[in-house]
Structure formats: structure tokens, C-alpha cells
Structure 1
Amino acid sequence: MAHSADVIYTGGWVFSALASAPIQKAVVVVDDRIAAVIAETDVESWTGDGTQLVDLGGGLLAPGFQDAHIHPIGGGVEGLQCNLTEARDGDEALELIAAYAAANPDLPWIQGAGWSMDHFPGGTPTRQMLDAIVSDRPVLLSNRDHHGAWANTLAFTLAGVDRTTPDPVDGRLERESDGTPAGTVHEGAIGLFEHVAPGTSNELAYAGLLRAQAELFALGVTGWQDAMVGTALGMSDSFEIYRRALAEGTLIAHVVGAQWWDRSAGIEQVEQMIARRDQVATEQPDLFSLGTVKIMVDGVAENQTAAMNAPYRDNHGHPTDNSGLSFIDPERLKEYVTALDAAGFQVHFHALGDRAVREALDAIEAARAANGPRGNRHHLAHLQVVDSADAARFAGLDAIANMQSLWASHEAQLDTLALPFLPDGAEEHHYPFGELLDQGARLAAGSDWPVSTANPIEAIHVAVNRVTPGENSEPLGAPRQKLDLATAMTAYTAGSAYVNHREHDTGAIAPGYLANLVVLNPNPFELDPTDIYTSTVTSTWVRGTQVYGVPVTA
């Protein structure tokens, strides 16, 4: 032993993410790294006057979770605006909006997010609902999945949107019988408000980032991949927000930024993306890097914009002429991904429908044919519906399956707005994580917060049970789609670290790795699978320093 430990975790279990089960060991930290994994009987030999002894109390020490698909600045900002995520139904959402407007009489616009489509008939609330509670100021509220928005009449008027306004090529307005906007807009139609609605100021975005970091530490998340870095969807340029946090020393988590691909532009974007990537590489690349590009391939199933191989059905179960939207022409997608791959970028795809998954894999295949294997670790997020033939392609293309496993359960939005309009048998191919694993795909995990909770334990619970935490409903899909607990935990730690090109020093518990750690009580491996969600974070540590939990004394 060179010198005494700074921190020793003792009295519990250790899940290293390098083995399939926890072990009863103690973990020694010196400075910011794990120095040793030792027998409990050897703890005294590492203990000095300044050593902090962390009693796990029979709980579990695990690598800090890494979220492979998240929007932390947006999540933090939403917590500072009109936040509807806690509403239990449409009436409660309206009450929250009215209360927020009353509490903020000087705001020129009422903005926020988080309403659930399943709380309103057809998933499409009306402008009149908002007019009844706020008519003197424009209101614009994104829904829970951020693929739609709800506006009052004044917002439409100020934006110049009326019955003569055509649907954009990548979106749609819900309309009344004479074509007047009904109140809900989908996908690219949200952009119709951008020229009048206030964007997110730099100060608000910065406050949102710091709030998000604190909330994520409380959930055991010590690093993430931000799936939207740049100027997009009315947000400030998050590139500069992160750089400010670096300069002021407030960014503690390690972050990989996915630069946002503007689907209305083309390959000319690559040059600026290279410049930004190379710029931050000279600053603090261990904390913030920009070697990834995020491409939206399609929309979502709830508003029937997810790109599907078969058409959606109508309310009577009959096929329609709508198979969803491919936001980028598949041939252009191949061109863009090939260029990004050649430039050394990782591509992070939003691919939700089975046609979108196929188009993303086809683009990776084209890039490999042109450039050869380059180890860029491209990954596909969401994967709501995957054809079995395409599930078998992931391993051969080194494409990573980026799971948002919290969604892999029966819940109101899925059961009322998606499954009834998809072809027979679609449920069996929903979020097919077990099938992907069996076919040799590497798994990573994320939340897509603020679309849904950022809590990794709840997402892991669903990956294992395919049932929403605390509920006793039927599991979603076939039993083969369930993951065991170790596999789900590994996806959220070592799997996401691999996506982030940080598997050499994060995502596992082993000598030489950064001491990015989380303590869970009770140990989820000792719980019945249906109770996994009851395990909670008691402390979180980044580079050997406690960032959440009751302070530990020496």
C-alpha cells in the first residue's frame, strides 16, 4: 500500500459491471480513483487518520449510472417554467397552468412542458381549453414527449397561423372542420411559433443545467450523453452553456455532447461540427466532448409520425395511407452518415419505428462499405418497434441498441394512442431488448428525460419486469424481451460508458477507474424482481467526492 485511503466503502455488496453478480468486498479510493477492491478483513490496513469509512449498511455499491440519451438543460429549464409532469389528468394540468399564470403575472408568454397526450381525447387538447383559463397572454406548452405542443388562440394569432397555413413537410396541425388550428401541433409544426415565442435565455439555460446536474446526482447519474447540443427547438445554444459551466467550474459530471443535425440543412453542417468538436478537445475533454452527432430519423407512434414498414390503422382497424415520416430521405441519410463516419463522428440516431431502424442501419452499412470499420460506436435510441431481420443486423454493424427501457410497459399513452393503430403483432416487436441481446447486440441505456423520469432504477425495474413500477399489469410483449437485473444494470453503467468512449475509466468498479459511484439501499439484487424500484440512492460520488446524500464523516 502506497498510503492510506481517502475513502473506503465497506459493509455491503459491490456490483462491478464486469461480472454477472455482486460480491461482498470493500472498495478503496485514493484521490479520485479506485485503488483496490479488497476483502473486508483488509480494510484496517488501508485506514488512516483521514480515511472516510462509508458503511453501505448491507446495500449495493455500483458504478455511477450513465444516461446515454438525455436532455438535461431542457429538463432543468422545464422545472423552472410551467411544469406539467406531475398532473394526473387533463383537469389537473389545466389547474397547474392557471396557477402558474397567476403566480407569474409579468411573463409575456406562458411556456413549459410535460402534459400527457393520454389525458386528452385523441391525445389532442384544444385551444379553447387554454383560452378559458389564459386568454390575455399567449400560451405554448410542449407535451411529455416533445413531439407536439399545445397553444391557445392568441399564440396562433401572434404566430400568424390560421386555416390557410399549410402543414409543414415534417409536421401537422390538428384542425377544426373549417381548417382553423384546433390547438395541438405535431413535430415540425412546432417551429411555426419560433419567430414570435421567446426562446430560452442563456441565464435560464445555465440555471437549468445546474438544476439538472443536481437532480441527476440525486438519482445516481454521474455522466451522460446530451442528445441535443446546439441551437434547436427554441433553446439557447447549449454548446456555449456547457462551455460557461466548464469555465466557471460548475460542470462536475462528465458529458458527451451530441451535436444537433438540422434536418432542413445538409452536408455543409459537417464542417462546423468538426470545428466545434476540435475546439472543445483543447479545453477539458475529460469533462465535455463533442464527438457525436444526433440525427432524428422519424417521429413518434402516438402522433403517427414514427416511420413504420406497414401503415397505421384508423379507428376502425383499417389500414390508412400513412406509414409515418422519414425526416431525412434515406439516400441523403446514407450520404450524411458516411461523411460523419469518415470525419470520426459517432452518430446517435433517434429511430423509433421499424422503418426508421432499418433506414438507420442501412446508413451505417453504407458508411462501413465506404469507410471500413472505424470504431465510431454508432447507436440507435428508442427502438420502439424493430423487425426481427433488423435486430439480427446490429452486432454485425457494431451498432449499439440504446434502450429507454422505462417505456417498455403497458401504460395509458401506449395502450390508447399507439398499439390500437399499429398492425397486429406489433406488440411482440415492441422494445425488443431481449431479442437484441440474444442476437449479439451491445446494450446501452438512457432515459430521454424530461420526456420521462431520469430515474435509472425505475427504468431498470421495467427492463426486468416489463411492467410499470408499483403496478400489477400484464408485461409488455413476450417473456423473451425481459432482461435480467445484472444485464440491465450493466447497460446503464458499462454499456453507456462504452457508447461514450469512456469504458477505460468509467462505468465499472476496478482499480484505476474513476471513483464515480452510487450507493443503493436496499441492494436490488436481494429484492424480489417486482420490488426493484423500491431501491433508492443514498449517496453519489464523482471522482471520489460526495455530490449527493448525507455527508459522510471520517
Structure 2
Amino acid sequence: MTTLFRGGRVFTAAGGFAEAVLVRDGVIAAVGDERDLAREAGPHETVDLNGGLLTPGFTDAHIHPVQAGLERAKCDLSEVYGLDAYQAKITDYAARNPDKEWIDGGGWDMSAFPGGLPHRTQLDADGRPVYLIQRDHHAAWVSTRALELAGITRDTPDPVDGRIERDPDGTPSGVLHEGAMDLVGLLTPRPTAADQDAALDDAQRHLFSLGITGWQDAIVGSYAGSDDQLPTYLSAARSGRLRARVVGALWWDRTRGADQIADLVERRASAEGLDRFAATSVKIMQDGITENFTAATLEPYCLCGGTGLSYVDPAKLKEYVAELDRLGFQVHFHAIGERAVREALDSCEGTDPANRHHIAHLQIIEPSDVPRFARLGVTANLQPLWATHHAQMDELTLPYLGEPRSSWQYPFADLLAHGTRFCAGSDWPVSDADPLQGMHVAVNRTEPGGSVHAGYPTAQTPFLPGQRLDLATALTAYTAGSAWINRSPAGVIEPGRPADLVVLDRDPFALPAGEIWTTRVTLTFVDGEPVYQRAGA
């Protein structure tokens, strides 16, 4: 089948724009002038861009689709905000699911509570145990009954990689941070294989609606009470249900050491030969998050002290990364604090840039480390949506970072100026999966107009505006940059590439920068076949 895409502009992600694209049998055949391609096409179908923009399909370089799909089917708090709204959602879910032993789900925001901390008693009305994962998946809010079932008392020690929040008398208050989440999370009902399959299918449909045609699942393994997703991906890829191009980042178990590398090699081999899925990356979470003071910092936090946690001993980290690199694995790091970023970069010294190691989140980078990304061939994996003024930033982060550290956050422009390669992702369900919302923030450093945080008093005040990116750079990060990380043949519109394409309802390059967030996906194609069409389009 031959299809001509015409009637708008084409962003190629290869350094420019074009008028039209010709696709034959799922592959891009030609890019160029509309009249020339129409003459070349022969018998063909036409997709009218209606003045919008055609781009490569987006690739999300850091995302958790199976977990997101599971949470969407549970008590999902992600689309509301505030204690009253959360309790209303929980009450409604409980009423609709009277036979469930547990009320579980997630999506609550720390900034909705004084000091970022809800309380167990706020979940006790139903009487059933409640386990709700925080929006960023680094804490859980649990009920009194859940704590009782887990045997967590004032005498229970904190795990080495986490913390139990406590009332002044030492009684657990109902928030479990990091590794402490598993004390309750592992007691919750386990999803069946069918549940996980359905979650992935639901997530893929949602991501297609946002123009996302590929991704890197940032944790494929058992973490924070979730079950291993590898069998889910293998099943979906073998059956043909998985249409997106996916790489799984195999979870590095921080309770183990180098002995797990043989297991990772075996897990990688289980996906060899599959068309849509590869397990060629390893995810190492090196620290936590700033809001609960587990992000690893070089100097103590203001007001509360402490320098956070390095989950993997830095000396051991170098050994592990060197061996993973030797075996041809890509390493996908989580690093929030400036010490964790430095430890990740240190571990990449002497590694092979061909393995395409990347560091995600990068909330704080000490300025002397910024040039090291390009020098080491390490890609910066951006989650732009977080780089704004909102309650979690202004109330739970800035006062505890102080200066100059607060001004080191999300230094996208500085990284670009030093020649750093970018990819980009959402961390969904931690934050909105829509790449266009992320691009809006990358360009403006303000909250998108449709965000639940858009009404925050300083949401439209640019956050460190000197770190803005131009739209072409941001869009390239979500397309060519992230596809490159995944070794995907897609991500660029040029002859010979798969026709993974997205039609936008308007050209964001023609909009005022503050309106980028209003852009919507009209059509999504994988291998030239439509996998999503917006209602009414």
C-alpha cells in the first residue's frame, strides 16, 4: 500500500522540515516536495495533515507502562488533587469493589499534605487494609490495618534502604519510604498474568493515543511490591499484541551484588530474536528523591540534615557497570541528587560509548559534572515536566536544597551547550505520559495550562528560565534521541525508516510558546498502519 502524507509540515528529526512524506508498504519511501511526491506515488491513499505537523512517532525513554496499566485499573488518584478528593475517590472505589480484600492503587501527590506526609488514620474509614503508592513511586500511604497485618510497630527498625515515618511517640504514621514500602506492598494481592497482560494492552492503547510508538520500560523486574513484567512483555511480543518498539531495562536488585549478572544475561537471552521487544538495558537506581531526603547530595540538606542514600556502594557500582558494559549491556541509571549523578558518571569512566548508557531524572547536577556527559558519551535522559514551580518544588524541595544547589536543577541548556546527547521520557505513571506537555515545559519552564498544578500561584513563573530548550531540540529528544537509545530504526523521517508517524492537529512551531501544550495527536501510525485515530478526525 502507498500513502502520501500532505497538507501540512513535516518535522523530520534529521535536521529540518519537509512538505510531504511518501510511505510504501510500511516504510518511508521518500521525503520532500508535495508535488514531486504526488507524481512519484502512482496509485495511493492520502492522509491530509490539515495544516498540522507530521513527526516521527515519539519514543518515551523512561516509563512504566505495565505498572501504569495496573494502577489505572485500581484506585487511581492521579487525576485528582487534595485530601478531600483523594478520600472521595477511595470511598467510591471501595463501594464499587466490596469483595476486594485490599484497597490498593496510587497516584497521590506529596504536596497535597502538610510536610508532604498523609496519615494512616485518613485511610481507616472502610476498615480494610489500604496501600496507595505515591505518585513518584518512592513512598506508600498505608492504613492502620495494613500496618497491623505487616506487623509494623514502633519497635520495627527502618530497613537499610528506606524509612518508616513515625508520630512523635514513635508509632508508625502511615507513610513508608523507599525500601520500607515492601513491608506492606508484598502483602497486597498479586496481579495475575492476565491482569498484567490487560495492563500492558491498556497502556499501549493509551500511549498510542499520545503518539508514543516506542518506549524503554525503566523497571522490568520486582520492585516496590510490583511483580516482574518480563513474562508479560515476552508473551505480548510473541503473540503480536505488542506493536510498539520496546526495550526493557532489567532491574538491578540492590540487595544483591555481581552474582545477579549471570541472571541478567539469561533474562536478556530470553528476548533474543523478538521483533518488538529486547531486554538489553539494566536499570540501576542509585538514590531516591529530594522530597523525602533520600536523593544523594554532596552537602547536607538544609533544615533537616543528612545527605541521602547511595543505594549501591560507589566503588561496587564501578565494578558492576564495568562488567555490564563488557557484556554489552546498556546501563540506565536513576540519579536525582548531585552525588548520585556524580557516582553514575564516575562509574561510566572507561566504558564503551557504543553501549549508549544514560542517566535519567538529573534533578541536580553539580556544575563541574555537566561537561562530563558529552566527554563520556553518556546521554541525558530528561523528564522535563518536573522543571516547573509547583507545590512539591516550592514547598518541599527548594527550602531543603538552598543555594546554590537549587539553581543547579534540571540544567538542560547547560547540558546542551556542552554537546550532551538528549533523550526524553515521562516516568508515567509518576507524571503525565503526554510528550507534548513535556515539550511545553522544556521550552517554557512553566506548568502546562491543563495541568492539575496550573493554578498554583507561581506555576506560570518560569523556573530557572535560562535552562529553556528550543522546541526543535525538545522534539528531537522525544523522537530521534529516544529512538537512538533504544537502537530503534524509527525516530527519524527519512527513506528506509519504518513509517512510525504522528499527525498533530496543529503545528506547534507556529504557536506562541505558551500554547504548545494545546497541541493534540490526531493520528498515530506504526509501520504505516493506523493504531490510533482521534474521535472526529
Q: TM-score normalised by the shorter chain: which range applies?
A: over 0.9
SS of the aligned residue for 2:173 comes to strand
* Aligned residue in 1 for 2:501: 517
What is the CA-CA distance between 1:464 and the residue it aligns to? 0.3
- One of 483, 488, 491 as aligned partner of 2:477: 491
- One of 26, 39, 51 as aligned partner of 1:58: 51
TM-score normalised by the chain length of structure 1: 0.93
- One of 263, 276, 279 as aligned partner of 1:287: 276
* Aligned residue in 2 for 1:226: 217
Letter in 1 for 2:283: K
- Once residues 497 and 520 of structure 1 are traced to their aligned partners in structure 2, the CA distance between those partners, rounded to angstroms, is 19
What is the CA-CA distance between 1:373 and the residue it aligns to? 2.8
* Aligned residue in 2 for 1:421: 400
* Aligned residue in 2 for 1:30: 24
- One of 430, 442, 459 as aligned partner of 2:438: 459
* Aligned residue in 1 for 2:126: 134
TM-score normalised by the chain length of structure 2: 0.96
Moved over 3 A (4+): 46-49, 550-553
SS of the aligned residue for 2:482 comes to helix
Q: Deviations over 1:110-163 (max 9, x none)?
A: 1000001111111111011111x222x100000100000001111000011111
Q: Deviations over 1:308-335 (max 9, x none)?
A: 1111112xxxxx4311111111111111
- One of 289, 295, 303 as aligned partner of 2:292: 303
Letter in 1 for 2:31: V
Q: Deviations over 1:330-349 (max 9, x none)?
A: 11111111111111100000
List aligned pairs for 1:251-270, cutoff 5 A. Answer: 251-270=242-261
Query: 2:534 aligned with 1:538, yes or no?
Result: no
Tell me how many residue pairs correspond in the alignment. Answer: 529
- Once residues 292 and 278 of structure 1 are traced to their aligned partners in structure 2, the CA distance between those partners, rounded to angstroms, is 12
- One of 96, 101, 108 as aligned partner of 2:101: 108
Q: Identity over aligned residues, as a percent?
A: 50
Letter in 1 for 2:8: G
- One of 411, 415, 426 as aligned partner of 2:390: 411
Query: 2:358 aligned with 1:379, yes or no?
Result: yes
How much is the aligned-residue C-alpha RMSD, in angstroms?
1.5
What is the CA-CA distance between 1:202 and the residue it aligns to? 1.7
Contact 2:181 2:225 survives alignment (8 Å): no
* Aligned residue in 1 for 2:427: 448
Q: Deviations over 1:245-276 (max 9, x none)?
A: 12221100010010000000111111111112
What is the CA-CA distance between 1:32 and the residue it aligns to? 1.4
What is the CA-CA distance between 1:38 and the residue it aligns to? 3.0
- Once residues 11 and 77 of structure 2 are traced to their aligned partners in structure 1, the CA distance between those partners, rounded to angstroms, is 36
- Once residues 18 and 252 of structure 1 are traced to their aligned partners in structure 2, the CA distance between those partners, rounded to angstroms, is 24
* Aligned residue in 1 for 2:467: 481
Contact 1:307 1:355 survives alignment (8 Å): yes
* Aligned residue in 2 for 1:317: none
- One of 306, 325, 328 as aligned partner of 2:309: 325
- Once residues 90 and 396 of structure 1 are traced to their aligned partners in structure 2, the CA distance between those partners, rounded to angstroms, is 47
Contact 1:225 1:256 survives alignment (8 Å): yes
- Once residues 374 and 436 of structure 1 are traced to their aligned partners in structure 2, the CA distance between those partners, rounded to angstroms, is 17
Letter in 2 for 1:274: V
What is the CA-CA distance between 1:355 and the residue it aligns to? 0.4
Letter in 1 for 2:512: D
Query: 2:412 aligned with 1:433, yes or no?
Result: yes
Contact 1:63 1:508 survives alignment (8 Å): yes
**Alpha-carbon spacing, 1:10–1:195, altered in 2? closer, same or farther (3 Å):** closer
Q: Deviations over 1:424-474 (max 9, x none)?
A: 122321100110111111011000000000000000000000001125621
SS of the aligned residue for 2:154 comes to coil
What is the CA-CA distance between 1:415 and the residue it aligns to? 1.1
Contact 1:304 1:312 survives alignment (8 Å): yes
* Aligned residue in 2 for 1:96: 89
- One of 66, 71, 75 as aligned partner of 2:68: 75
- One of 202, 216, 220 as aligned partner of 1:211: 202
- Once residues 21 and 347 of structure 2 are traced to their aligned partners in structure 1, the CA distance between those partners, rounded to angstroms, is 44
Structure 1 unmatched runs, 5+: 315-319
SS of the aligned residue for 1:222 comes to strand
SS of the aligned residue for 1:77 comes to helix
- Once residues 398 and 264 of structure 1 are traced to their aligned partners in structure 2, the CA distance between those partners, rounded to angstroms, is 29
Q: Deviations over 1:145-196 (max 9, x none)?
A: 0000001111000011111100011111111122111011111100111442
SS of the aligned residue for 2:372 comes to coil
Query: 2:234 aligned with 1:247, yes or no?
Result: no
* Aligned residue in 1 for 2:3: 7
* Aligned residue in 2 for 1:196: 187
- Once residues 238 and 227 of structure 1 are traced to their aligned partners in structure 2, the CA distance between those partners, rounded to angstroms, is 11
* Aligned residue in 2 for 1:167: 158
- Once residues 380 and 437 of structure 2 are traced to their aligned partners in structure 1, the CA distance between those partners, rounded to angstroms, is 19
- Once residues 427 and 196 of structure 1 are traced to their aligned partners in structure 2, the CA distance between those partners, rounded to angstroms, is 38
What is the CA-CA distance between 1:48 and the residue it aligns to? 4.5
Query: 2:351 aligned with 1:362, yes or no?
Result: no
SS of the aligned residue for 1:268 comes to helix
- One of 379, 389, 394 as aligned partner of 2:373: 394
Structure 2 unmatched runs, 5+: none
- Once residues 201 and 188 of structure 1 are traced to their aligned partners in structure 2, the CA distance between those partners, rounded to angstroms, is 23
SS of the aligned residue for 2:248 comes to strand
- Once residues 139 and 194 of structure 1 are traced to their aligned partners in structure 2, the CA distance between those partners, rounded to angstroms, is 10
- One of 18, 25, 41 as aligned partner of 2:14: 18
Letter in 1 for 2:311: F
SS of the aligned residue for 1:280 comes to coil
* Aligned residue in 1 for 2:38: 44
What is the CA-CA distance between 1:199 and the residue it aligns to? 2.3
What is the CA-CA distance between 1:491 and the residue it aligns to? 0.5
**Alpha-carbon spacing, 1:303–1:223, altered in 2? closer, same or farther (3 Å):** same
